Chain A
Amino acid sequence: MIRYVDGVTISRIACALPKQQLSISEYAPNLFDEKSAKRMAKGTGFSKLRIAPEEVTTADLCAVAAERVLGGIDRSRIGSLVFVTQTPDYTVPATSHVLQDRLHLGNDVLCLDINEGCSGWVTGLYTATLLCQTTDAPVCLLAGDTPSKTTALDDRATRSIFGDAGTATLIVPGKDRLPFLFKSYGERPDAILLANYYQYRQEPSKTGVGSLFVSLDGGAIMDFSLDEVPAAIEKFLEAEQLTKEDVSVYACHQANKLILNSLADKLGVVREKVPFTSGEIGNESSASIPLVLQAEEGIADLSRVLCCGFGVGLSIGICMADFTKTEFLGVVEI
């Protein structure tokens, strides 16, 4: 099902990254020596990871990016704040409330935390554009994660790919019409899983349900990335009566380089059209698509961008937009 939102504009995008950049042998010397780190990085494409200090949270990164997109804006006009993350500062209350106060948005704001990861920016964009449309007021969409805080110190799979990042996107009333497609495959939660405290309390375990660390099944994610994801992209293009060549850039979730290259091959599009730009950041969960767009700004044609988030859920979020009028405000390092 294609869903449309009319009367909006993606006005501004800003990103924030931790200053600290580590190779995986520096980050996880207990798991990788220089040789094995080099081999792993060649495969995943992640030669360095951005890792936030213990005291820096996802909300901190997103707040810094938000300050950029809110610059010069009358903050009392912001009607809604959407915060997409799986690493909130708090489980209770929703961290978006704390951010509303921190960003001086006033009290007439709908605050919403959305628990979504790899596909989360697209989910957040759909929600934010709908809120913008119904209220005729600007919406601040924050998306990011600090997955480094959820990885087990002895897990090669997660300690070699995840990086921390935060982003902010400002949606304002405008003239664009955005098409969206969402897919959910909730029968496969184990592909990427992080249990809750009560599950841990019932049955503590080292991985999977009952573990307090994130676990991932690389094989299951690869299957998903090469079957359901290209099928969803093809369905979206068909519904929109577009060919694969009509898309100027496929701004995809930065799962890893092997997945993105394989996805491009499976789709039958040149790899350059599915850019992997996070080699010195890491897999940034819901922050990935704004970071790809930021990296490609001024380089690629951003007039017909297909954004595709895919992963944890498992889930897929696709939308198509023209970013040529969007103001890209850069990457702030903290």
Chain B
Amino acid sequence: MTKEQFLTKMQDEVLDREDEITMESNLDEIEEWDSLAFVSFIAMANTAAGKKVDHAAVKNAATIGELYAFLQ
């Protein structure tokens, strides 16, 4: 998954948010990064990237870019 594809998926599907996000966006400042988005991210990582991510590490991530790193 390219960075562009990831950002689109994060914005439209996982976060379901209108305001644009970047790899540098802080998760603390994204209102939509909640328990629903967390589970949705786990689903996206599994179905789109074939990755089973570490839940605690995802919860500790600070930026959108750090979430992208889990899919590599």
A219 at the interface (CB under 8 A from B): yes
Beta-carbon contact of B16 and A156 below 8 Å: no
Is B36 within 8 A of A40, CB to CB?
yes
Determine if A258 is an interface residue (Cβ-Cβ < 8 Å): yes
Q: Which chain B positions have C-beta within 8 A of A218?
A: 35, 38-39
A265 at the interface (CB under 8 A from B): yes
Interface flags for A12-52 (1: CB within 8 Å of B; 0: not) read: 00000000000000000000000000011011100000000
Within B19-54, which residues are at the interface with A (CB < 8 Å)?
32, 35-36, 38-40, 42-43, 46-47, 52
B35 and A156 within 8 A (CB): yes
Task: Decide if B43 touches A262 in the complex (CB within 8 Å).
Answer: yes
Q: Is the interface of B mostly helix, strand, loop or mixed?
A: helix
Of chain B, the residue at the smallest CB distance from A259 is: B43
Min Cβ gap B66→A in Å is: 17
Q: How large is the interface on A (under 10, 10 to 19, 20 to 34, 35 or more residues)?
A: 10 to 19
Q: Does A223 contact B (CB under 8 A)?
A: yes
A43 and B40 in contact, given A156-B35, A227-B52 (Cβ under 8 angstroms): yes
Please state if A39 and B47 are interface contacts (CB–CB under 8 Å).
no
Give the contacting residue for B36; candidates A39, A223, A227; CB below 8 A: A39
Please report the C-alpha to C-alpha distance between residue A155 and residue B5 in the assembled complex, in whole angstroms: 34
Residues of A within 8 A of B42 (CB): 219, 222-223
Do A43 and B16 have beta carbons less than 8 Å apart?
A: yes
Cα A39 to Cα B18 in complex, Å, equals 13
Given contacts A223-B46, A226-B46, A227-B52, A42 and B16 within 8 Å (CB-CB): yes
User: Looking across the interface, which residue of chain A has its beta carbon closest to that of B38?
Assistant: A219
Q: Please name all residues of chain A whose beta carbon is closer than 8 Å to the beta carbon of B47 when the two chains form the complex.
A: 226, 262, 265-266
CA distance A226 to B40 in the complex (A): 12
Complex CA–CA separation, A266 to B16 (angstroms): 21
Q: A39-B16, A223-B52 are in contact. Are A44 and B36 (CB under 8 A)?
A: yes
| Proximity string of chain A (256-276) to chain B, C-beta cutoff 8 Å, 1 when within and 0 when not | 001100100110000000000
Instruction: Please report the number of residue pairs spanning A and B whose Cβ atoms sit closer than 8 angstroms.
Output: 41
Interface residues on B, range: 10 to 19
A39 CA to B52 CA in the complex, in Å? 25
A258–B41 alpha-carbon span in the complex (Å): 11
Contact of B40 among A156, A157, A258, A266 (CB under 8 A): A258
Which residues of A lie under 8 Å from residue B36 when comparing CB positions?
Answer: 39-40, 43-44
Within 8 A of B (CB), among A243-266: 258-259, 262, 265-266
Q: Considering the complex, which residues of chain A in the window 189-229 have a beta carbon less than 8 Å from any beta carbon of chain B?
A: 218-220, 222-223, 226-227
A219 close to B40 (CB less than 8 A): no
Q: Please indicate the chain B residues that have their CB under 8 angstroms from the CB of A39 in the complex.
A: 16, 32, 36
Q: Which residues of B contact A262 (CB under 8 A)?
A: 43, 46-47
- The interface residues of chain B lying within 8 Å CB-to-CB of A266 are 46-47
CB distance from B54 to the nearest CB of A (A): 10
Residues of the B chain whose Cβ atoms lie less than 8 Å from the Cβ of A40: 36
State how many angstroms separate the Cβ of A260 from the closest Cβ of chain B: 11
Question: Which B residue's beta carbon lies closest to that of A265?
Answer: B47
A77 CB, min distance to chain B CBs, angstroms: 47
- Known A39-B36, A43-B40, A226-B47; further 6 A-B contacts with Cβ < 8 A: A42-B16, A218-B38, A218-B39, A219-B55, A222-B39, A227-B52
Show 21 residue pairs from A and B whose CB-CB distance is below 8 angstroms, ordered by the A residue.
Answer: A39-B16, A39-B32, A39-B36, A40-B36, A42-B16, A43-B36, A156-B35, A218-B38, A219-B38, A219-B55, A220-B55, A222-B39, A222-B46, A223-B42, A223-B46, A226-B43, A258-B43, A259-B43, A262-B46, A266-B46, A266-B47
Closest 5 CB pairs of A and B: A262-B43, A218-B39, A226-B46, A43-B36, A219-B55
Chain A residues proximal to chain B, CB less than 8 Å: 39-40, 42-44, 156-157, 218-220, 222-223, 226-227, 258-259, 262, 265-266
